[in-house]
Structure 1
Amino acid sequence: MSYQSRYRIDGQSDALLSPASRLPTIRQRIVARLKLWRESVVARRHLAAMDARSLRDAGISPAAAAFESGKSFWEPMGPLR
């Protein structure tokens, strides 16, 4: 990397790139959390719908799949293997 490539070409000031401006807003954080919860709901539904053979092929025990699919949407996904 050359010395010149460290600077923005368009001439924007470094004040726009301060760490405080990179923090997500409360709205962005809420939207991200809702997306994460929706993904966990969908993943758990798919996990609950898998048959024993598919679970074995994926290396997941049926007990672990049943435990994980029974969790609430706000609980984080745990390890399945």
Structure 2
Amino acid sequence: MSYQSRYRIDGRPDAFVTPASPRLTVRRRVAACLKLWRERIVIRRHLAAMDARSLRDAGISPAAAAFESGKSFWQPLGPLR
């Protein structure tokens, strides 16, 4: 059994509409892409520098770490477990 109120929660018809996000300019999209690529580079370098004990503590197999660290920066990160 459902309950429907006869009264509005808020008198405005657009009370629950989320505002549209502003469109990103080309410059901001390029900057975001470059930032993402830089983060991937750093993550893969740190992953390659980890020893077997640290990888085991993190739950990552050495083979998965070697495979992931060998990828190019434009390729997305894959599952490490």
Q: TM-score range by the shorter chain?
A: 0.7 to 0.9
Where does the alignment leave 5 or more consecutive residues of structure 1 unmatched? Answer: 7-16
- Structure 1 residue 23 displacement after superposition: 1.3
Query: 1:11 matched to which residue of 2?
Result: none
Query: 1:69 matched to which residue of 2?
Result: 69
Show structure 1 runs of 4+ deviating over 3 A: none
- Is residue 2:17 matched to residue 1:3? no
Q: TM-score, normalised by structure 1?
A: 0.76
Query: 1:26 matched to which residue of 2?
Result: 26
Q: TM-score, normalised by structure 2?
A: 0.76
Where does the alignment leave 5 or more consecutive residues of structure 2 unmatched? Answer: 1-8
Aligned residues between the structures: 69
Query: 2:57 matched to which residue of 1?
Result: 57
Q: Percent identity?
A: 72
- Structure 1 residue 3 displacement after superposition: 2.8
Query: 1:14 matched to which residue of 2?
Result: none
The 5-angstrom pairing of residues 32-43 of structure 1 reads 32-43=32-43
**SS in structure 2 of the partner of residue 22 of structure 1:** coil
Which one has the largest radius of gyration?
A: 2
Amino acid at match of 1:30: V
Superposition CA RMSD, Å: 2.0
Q: Identify the structure with the greater helix proportion.
A: 1
